[in-house]
C-alpha cells in the first residue's frame, strides 16, 4: 500500500508543477477495429513503468496512466471491441518483484515473491492478497492474454513470461510443492499470446551510467528537471537501513550491466509473438551527437536527453556505450528499446510476423511518455493501438 502511495504523490506533484494536464475523453480518431480480419480477441493487459499506476490505484480515476493528456486509452480501446486492463505493480521495486505482483493480480491470488528470493533480498515473502479481486475474469492456456509493458514494465513482463516458461529452480529447491507459487512451477508460457514493449530499456539506460564516461556540451538542468530528478531518485532507489538488498530495486535493474546480466537469465519462449516500439525525440547534430527536439520532448527530460545525446563511456562491467547509444527519448536510449542484446530480432514486416523473435517496429518520433498519450506534449495514440491490436488479433494461434 505504501508503495502505491508513491505513485499518487508523484501524480499530485506532477499536476501541481504543471507537468500533466488532465484532459477529457476526446473524439474518436479515424482508425477503427477491423473484426473481419481477426483470428483471436484475447485480453490486453497493460503494465506501467517506474512510479506508475493502474486500475487498482485511486489516482487512475482522475489521471489514467494509460492515456494521460490524450484521454483514457483503455476506455477507448474497450469501446472499440478490445478487452483491456491496467495492472498496478510496485512503482519502485525490481522486475522480479513486479512480475510476482502481476502474476498474483492476473490469477487472483496472494503475492508470493518466493522463499529463496525474499530471504536473499531481506523482505517479506508475501505481499498484497488479490483473492476475489483478479484483474481479468480468467487466465489460462485457453483464455490467453496479450501483455504490453511501458518502460520498466517491459522488463516486468519479460521476467514473468520467462518464469511462466521455465519456473524457478531456486524456489523449487527450498519450497514445499504445496506452498510453491504457480509462477515458479513453469509450463505456462502458452498462457500468453503476445508481448509488446513500449520505450522499454531492454538493456538499461546510460542515464544511470554517467559516472562511467564523459559528457561533452550537455545543457544546464532546468529547475523542473532537477525537481523531477530528485523525485525519481527517491522513488526508484534503495532506502537506507531498511534491511532490504539494494539489488532488489528498479534502479539496480536499470543499470546497463545489470540489465544485460538479467537478459542472459531470461528465456524467450518460442510460442509467443514479440513486438517492440522504440522512441526517439532527439535531433542529430552536425558532429554526430544528439540534442533534444523540444517540439516533441517534455521540458523535464531535455537536460537528461542532452547528456545522453553527448555521452560515451565504458561501464564497470566493460560494456562500451558508444555513439550508437546517443539517440534517445529523454530517459532511455533508442537502441536499448529495440531488443534485448543476445535475443533474436528482425525488423517489423507485417507480411511475415514471426513467433519467438523480436519484431522491431519503426522508431516512433516521440519522447518517453509519448506512447502513453504524453504529459504536456499531447499525443493521441489511440489509433496506433487500434492498428497494432488489429494486427495482433489477425495472427495465427
Q: With 0-12 CB in 10 A as exposed, 13-18 as middle and 19+ as buried, what is 11?
A: buried
Of the candidates 340, 11, 282, 325, the one whose C-alpha atom is nearest the C-alpha of residue 154 is 340
Cβ 159 vs Cβ 117: under 8 Å: no
Residues 54 and 63: their CA atoms lie apart, in Å, by 10
Single out the catalytic residue among 93, 212, 329, 367.
Answer: 329
224 classed as catalytic: no
Residues 264 and 269: their CA atoms lie apart, in Å, by 14
Residues 195 and 358: their CA atoms lie apart, in Å, by 9
Residues 254 and 6: their CA atoms lie apart, in Å, by 19
For the four alpha carbons of 27, 30, 31 and 33, in that order, the dihedral sign comes to: positive
Residues 183 and 144: their CA atoms lie apart, in Å, by 15
329 classed as catalytic: yes
Residues 145 and 45: their CA atoms lie apart, in Å, by 7
79 classed as catalytic: no
Any idea which residue has 507459487 for its cell? Answer: 181
Single out the catalytic residue among 33, 51, 94, 151.
Answer: 151
Q: With 0-12 CB in 10 A as exposed, 13-18 as middle and 19+ as buried, what is 372?
A: buried
Copy the grid coordinates of residue 233: 531518485
Cβ 87 vs Cβ 45: under 8 Å: yes
Residues 338 and 330: their CA atoms lie apart, in Å, by 15
Dihedrals φ, ψ of 310, to 5°? -120, 15
Residues 244 and 124: their CA atoms lie apart, in Å, by 10
Q: With 0-12 CB in 10 A as exposed, 13-18 as middle and 19+ as buried, what is 30?
A: exposed
Single out the catalytic residue among 48, 117, 202, 368.
Answer: 368
Indicate which residues carry an active-site annotation: 151, 329, 368
Amino acid at each position: 500500500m505504501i508503495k502505491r502511495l508513491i505513485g499518487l504523490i508523484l501524480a499530485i506533484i506532477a499536476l501541481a508543477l504543471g507537468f500533466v494536464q488532465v484532459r477529457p475523453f476526446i473524439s474518436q480518431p479515424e482508425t477503427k477495429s477491423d473484426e473481419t480480419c481477426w483470428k483471436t480477441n484475447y485480453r490486453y493487459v497493460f503494465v506501467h513503468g517506474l512510479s506508475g499506476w493502474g486500475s487498482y490505484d485511486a489516482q487512475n480515476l482522475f489521471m489514467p496512466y494509460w492515456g494521460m493528456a490524450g484521454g483514457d486509452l483503455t476506455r477507448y480501446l474497450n469501446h472499440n471491441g478490445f478487452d483491456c486492463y491496467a495492472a498496478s505493480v510496485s512503482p519502485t521495486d525490481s522486475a522480479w518483484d513486479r512480475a510476482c505482483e502481476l502474476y498474483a493480480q492476473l490469477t487472483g491470488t496472494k503475492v508470493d515473491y518466493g522463499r529463496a528470493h525474499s530471504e536473499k533480498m531481506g523482505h517479506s515473502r508475501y505481499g498484497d492478497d488479490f483473492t476475489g479481486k483478479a484483474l481479468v475474469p480468467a487466465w489460462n492456456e485457453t483464455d490467453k492474454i496479450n501483455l504490453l509493458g511501458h518502460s520498466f514494465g517491459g522488463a516486468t513482463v519479460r521476467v514473468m513470461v520467462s518464469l511462466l516458461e521455465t519456473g524457478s529452480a531456486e524456489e523449487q529447491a527450498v519450497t514445499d510443492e504445496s506452498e510453491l507459487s504457480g509462477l515458479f512451477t513453469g509450463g505456462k508460457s502458452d498462457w500468453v499470446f503476445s508481448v509488446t514493449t513500449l520505450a522499454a530499456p531492454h538493456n538499461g539506460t546510460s542515464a544511470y551510467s554517467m559516472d562511467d564516461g564523459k559528457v561533452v556540451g550537455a545543457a544546464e538542468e532546468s529547475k523542473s528537471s532537477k525537481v523531477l530528478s530528485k523525485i525519481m531518485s527517491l522513488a526508484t532507489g534503495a532506502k537506507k537501513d531498511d534491511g532490504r538488498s539494494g539489488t532488489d530495486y528498479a534502479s539496480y535493474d536499470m543499470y546497463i550491466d545489470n540489465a544485460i546480466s538479467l537478459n542472459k537469465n531470461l528465456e524467450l519462449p518460442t510460442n509467443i509473438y514479440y513486438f517492440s516500439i522504440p522512441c526517439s525525440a532527439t535531433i542529430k547534430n552536425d558532429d554526430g551527437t544528439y540534442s533534444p527536439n523540444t517540439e516533441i520532448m517534455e521540458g523535464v527530460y531535455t537536460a537528461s536527453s542532452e547528456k545522453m545525446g553527448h555521452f560515451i563511456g565504458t561501464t564497470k562491467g566493460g560494456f562500451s556505450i558508444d555513439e550508437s547509444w546517443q539517440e534517445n527519448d529523454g530517459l532511455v536510449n533508442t537502441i536499448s528499446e529495440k531488443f534485448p542484446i543476445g535475443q533474436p530480432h528482425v525488423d517489423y514486416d507485417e507480411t511475415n510476423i514471426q513467433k519467438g523473435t523480436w519484431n522491431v517496429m519503426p522508431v516512433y518520433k516521440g519522447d518517453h511518455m509519448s506512447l502513453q498519450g504524453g504529459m504536456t506534449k499531447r499525443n493521441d495514440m489511440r489509433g496506433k493501438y487500434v492498428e497494432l491490436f488489429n494486427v495482433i488479433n489477425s495472427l495465427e494461434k
